[in-house]
């Protein structure tokens, strides 16, 4: 019996989470697993009412769950930064979800903005470090507000933090398929402390994985190759900020935010799965947002819980619907409503 914590959150979060839950229920019936879902109201609306983001008690409660299914955090009436750091990053950090796993896979070439790319050309996974780097929030102002002001923002990289991420990436790459190629994405030519540590750790750990081909690409070149030669990539490992940036580009080449899902993973603890598109306020409540990213996130969650057959069936169904039914992956242009797409996946399963 899995205990699933559901955080629908803000904007279109509740709409897409509802479709994800519909698919979860259908998958449970078909593949014979049981779960109990508990909904939490963390998000912008609750913050505006109570001034609360997430406290230690909430974190302690969430630790009791098998996994967390998250919709979106972000509210137009709340100043940027409060909900992101107070809820999303707080969850990632407190639950030590040190991996952010983002598959980039093209399901239908018609939805790819790149010319002449086929599904087999765009099929890679980004392993983003999710607990350190520039996201650590370290830094300070000096002489704030004066013309001599200096703002420091520190990228915090520990050997242990970097190594556990790199090891996860090697292990993941070994299991993934026959290609077995791991690329370190960095900026060794400029960030001579942080990526010196990353590079040394990468090649030291690589000695334990002789079956994996290693490669290195600077982050700027990586964005170029995502567009020019995405077929070069199998698994990419990178730091928190670079991972954030390149996975938005990854989402676009796989067909857009409507299909992009991610997992915040603590291999020994509670992991959290989310569509990466955000709260999309302008589409809220209109039944037009694409729920496939959330449905894919639910599939990833099942895979992570060990329900491999269910996870694979959800992915196959999403591929089929994306390839044969949808007019577009973009909100309002899919040829179906949010709920109809959820129903299509349930029927497909
Ligand atoms: C993401 C988002 C978050 C991040 C924001 C909302 C803090 O962009 O999940 O990629 O930067 O990690
Ligand atoms: Mn992002």
Residue 104 lies in a domain: no
What is the reported pLDDT for 178?
A: 87
Task: State whether 203 and 304 are in the same domain.
Answer: no
Distances (CA, A) of 318 to 20, 34, 118, 329: 12, 22, 17, 12
243 in the same domain as 268: no
Q: How far is the CA of 93 from the centre of ligand 2 (A)?
A: 16
Mean pLDDT of 276-292: 95
My answer on whether 121 and 246 are in the same domain is yes
In this structure, are 135 and 195 located in the same domain?
yes
Same domain for 281 and 240, yes or no, is no
88 C-alpha to ligand 1 centroid (Å): 8
Q: What is the C-alpha separation between 277 and 260, in angstroms, rounded?
A: 7
Q: Is residue 107 part of a domain?
A: no
Is the pLDDT at 218 greater than 90? The verdict is yes
Same domain, 91 and 121: no
Distance CA 22, CA 227 (A): 35
Q: Is the domain of 249 the same as that of 309? A: no
Instruction: Answer whether residue 106 is part of any domain.
Output: no
Residue 105 counted as domain residue: no
Residues 119 and 242 in one domain: yes
Looking at the fold, whether 60 and 125 belong to one and the same domain comes out as no
Q: What is the pLDDT of residue 345?
A: 98
* Plot region of 185 (φ>0 → left; ψ -120 to 50 → alpha; else → beta): beta
pLDDT digits (tens, 9 = 90+) for 147-173: 999 999 999 999 999 999 999 999 999
- Here the CATH number for the domain that contains residue 317 is 3.40.718.10
Residues of the chain with pLDDT > 70, as a percent, come to 100
Q: Whose CA is nearest to atom 5 of ligand 1?
A: 84
pLDDT per residue as tens digits for the range 24-56: 999 999 999 999 999 999 999 999 999 999 999
Given 253, 270, 293, the domain boundary residue is 253
Query: Cβ of 122: how many Cβ atoms within 10 Å?
Result: 22
Indicate the average pLDDT of the chain: 97
CA distance 134 to 143: 22
Residue 161 structural domain: 113-253
Distance CA 339, CA 291 (A): 8
Q: How far is CA 53 from the centre of its chain?
A: 21
Pair (283, 227) in one structural domain: no
Residue 126 domain flag: yes
Domain total of the chain: 2
pLDDT digits (tens, 9 = 90+) for 73-95: 999 999 999 999 999 999 999 99
Is it the case that residue 62 has pLDDT exceeding 90?
yes
Q: Which atom of ligand 1 is nearest to the CA of 276?
A: 9
* Per-residue pLDDT reduced to its tens digit, 189-214: 999 999 999 999 999 999 999 999 99
Mean pLDDT score, 97-112: 97
Q: How far is CA 205 from the centre of its chain?
A: 25
Query: Is 127 a residue whose pLDDT tops 90?
Result: yes
> 237-247 pLDDT, tens per residue?
999 999 999 99
Q: Are residues 222 and 282 in the same domain?
A: no
Whether residue 208 sits in one domain with residue 92? no
Last residue of a domain, one of 192, 225, 253: 253
208 located within any domain? yes
For the segment 277-287, the average pLDDT, to the nearest whole number, is 94
Domain boundary residue, one of 205, 230, 253: 253
Residue 301 lies in a domain: yes
**Ligand 1 atom with the shortest distance to the CA of 89:** 7
> Residues near ligand 1 with C-beta < 6 Å?
84, 88-89, 244, 276
Hey, which of 10, 85, 88 would you mutate to test ligand 1's pocket, going by the most ligand atoms within 8 Å of its Cβ?
88
* Residue 102 lies inside a defined structural domain of this protein: no
């Amino acid at each position: 019996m899995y205990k699933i914590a559901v955080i629908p959150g803000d904007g279109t979060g509740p709409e897409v989470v509802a479709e994800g839950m519909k698919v979860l229920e259908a998958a449970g019936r078909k593949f014979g697993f049981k779960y109990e879902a508990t909904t939490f109201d963390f998000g912008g609306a609750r913050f505006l009412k109570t001034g609360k983001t997430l406290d230690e008690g909430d974190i302690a409660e969430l630790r009791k769950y098998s996994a967390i299914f998250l919709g979106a955090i972000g509210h137009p009436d709340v100043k940027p930064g409060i909900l992101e750091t107070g809820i999303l990053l707080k969850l990632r950090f407190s639950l030590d979800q040190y991996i952010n796993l983002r598959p980039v896979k093209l399901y239908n070439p018609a939805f790819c903005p790149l010319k002449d790319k086929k599904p087999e050309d765009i099929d890679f996974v980004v392993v983003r470090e999710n607990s350190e780097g520039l996201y650590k929030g370290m830094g300070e102002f000096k002489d704030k507000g004066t013309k001599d002001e200096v703002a420091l923002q520190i990228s915090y990289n520990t050997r242990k933090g970097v190594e556990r991420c790199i090891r996860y990436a090697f292990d993941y790459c070994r299991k993934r398929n026959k290609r077995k190629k791991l690329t370190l994405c960095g900026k060794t030519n400029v960030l001579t402390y942080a990526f010196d540590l990353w590079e040394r750790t990468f090649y030291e750990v690589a000695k334990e994985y002789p079956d994996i081909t290693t490669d290195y690409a600077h982050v700027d070149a990586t964005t170029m190759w995502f567009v020019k030669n995405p077929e070069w990539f199998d698994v990419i490992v990178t730091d928190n900020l670079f991972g954030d940036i390149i996975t938005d580009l990854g989402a676009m080449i796989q067909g857009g935010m409507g299909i992009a899902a991610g997992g915040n993973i603590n291999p020994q603890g509670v992991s959290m799965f989310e569509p990466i598109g955000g709260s999309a306020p302008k589409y809220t409540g209109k039944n037009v947002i694409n729920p496939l990213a959330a449905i894919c996130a639910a599939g990833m969650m099942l895979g992570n819980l060990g329900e491999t057959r269910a996870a694979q069936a959800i992915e196959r169904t999403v591929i089929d619907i994306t390839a044969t039914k949808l007019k577009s992956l973009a909100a309002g242009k899919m040829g179906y409503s949010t709920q109809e797409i959820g129903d299509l996946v349930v029927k497909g399963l």
